[in-house]
Structure 1
């Protein structure tokens, strides 16, 4: 399953290029760019297994990207981490699908993870533009009941997230969609 999730960006590369070309209003049109207000979500439903991988600038979720030094900043980081540790409250999954979380991994320099170094060995850029990566795996007892993914709870919890560029592989095939708070639901 992990191989399938890792193959998703390659499988949808033509769509990614098309979306980047259509995004003339933004300085960073590519899905790989760090753009405040924009998050990326990969979703794969394969049999009874659902995997979700969220990548977002820390600014969208926490409100800042610098290392937390004050007590208030540390409290904010801890609160956001606690929210991310409860994916069933962030991603609207049909209760009838019977999805339960089986695995979770959260990574960010703000959570105390070592930042990745740039190609030139300088990690200063990473401190200026911290990201949060969250990977979730669910087992669903009735995956056929999982008709859509509702991202409204995620937009509500993190209002600085204006849009989510979603790459999805499900029973209907693969698709690339942009979700917003006004249009937060995506069909599998």
Structure 2
């Protein structure tokens, strides 16, 4: 990954995950987003001084409600609305307490881009989704969002609150979070009932 802050420290996190869940790498891979499990997203968080980086990865189904290329006006409107929401991350992650300003936003998904390419795989995607779900995750549409913030009052940033994200995207049932902050590394699963993670 091209973002240094996330690339270096998160290389160590499979060890943390293995310790936390006592799973081997195969089991961890099954639990991770690599399995493209609907309802489940992953979030990497790195807080270093005043710099906060977040990397969210989710099946498009969780955020948009479908994974096919947007052809109808209703589908296109839904994709556009989801993209607008993801482009306003301060509210989604409740970062106001840290006096954070968004410095960088990167959104990536087949749904946001090359519709012709997505169309080529649509029928195959529908078939694979039903019969060989885990073996062909490349046929599924994911949404990836990367955010970089500068937080003037990072010491006041006590927690990450994903309540608003769960509220706006109710198909998201749980988010696997891996965090590196002032107190070291930690991992946990957040849900609508337990949406907060302390730094």
**TM-score, normalised on structure 2?**
0.81
The corresponding residue for 1:120 is none
The corresponding residue for 1:98 is 99
The corresponding residue for 1:147 is 158
Distance, in Å, in 2 between the alignment partners of 1:30 and 1:127 is 14
Alignment pair present for 1:134 and 2:145: yes
Report which stretch shifted further, 30-39 or 145-154: 30-39
CA shift at 1:30, angstroms? 3.2
The corresponding residue for 2:13 is 12
CA shift at 1:142, angstroms? 1.1
Which of the pair is proportionally richer in helix?
A: 2
Q: Of the candidates 46, 71, 74, which is equivalent to residue 69 of structure 1?
A: 71
Over the aligned positions, Cα root-mean-square deviation in angstroms equals 2.5
CA change 1:20–1:92 in 2 (3 A) is: farther
Q: Of the candidates 91, 100, 106, which is equivalent to residue 89 of structure 1?
A: 91
The corresponding residue for 1:44 is 46
Distance, in Å, in 2 between the alignment partners of 1:69 and 1:31 is 26
Q: Of the candidates 160, 163, 180, which is equivalent to residue 169 of structure 1?
A: 180
The corresponding residue for 2:108 is 107
Write the deviation string for residues 28-80 of structure 1: whole angstroms up to 9, x where unpaired: 42343211000000000001000011000000000000011111111110010
Aligned residues of 1:28 and 1:35 also touching (Cα < 8 A) = no
Aligned residues of 1:60 and 1:160 also touching (Cα < 8 A) = yes
CA shift at 1:92, angstroms? 1.1
CA change 1:113–1:40 in 2 (3 A) is: farther
Distance, in Å, in 2 between the alignment partners of 1:87 and 1:107 is 15
Q: Of the candidates 38, 53, 56, which is equivalent to residue 55 of structure 2?
A: 53
**TM-score, normalised on structure 1?**
0.85
Question: How many residues are matched?
Answer: 177
User: What SS class does the counterpart of residue 35 from structure 2 fall into?
Assistant: coil
Gaps spanning 5+ residues in structure 1: where? 117-122
CA shift at 1:177, angstroms? 0.8
Distance, in Å, in 2 between the alignment partners of 1:112 and 1:174 is 34
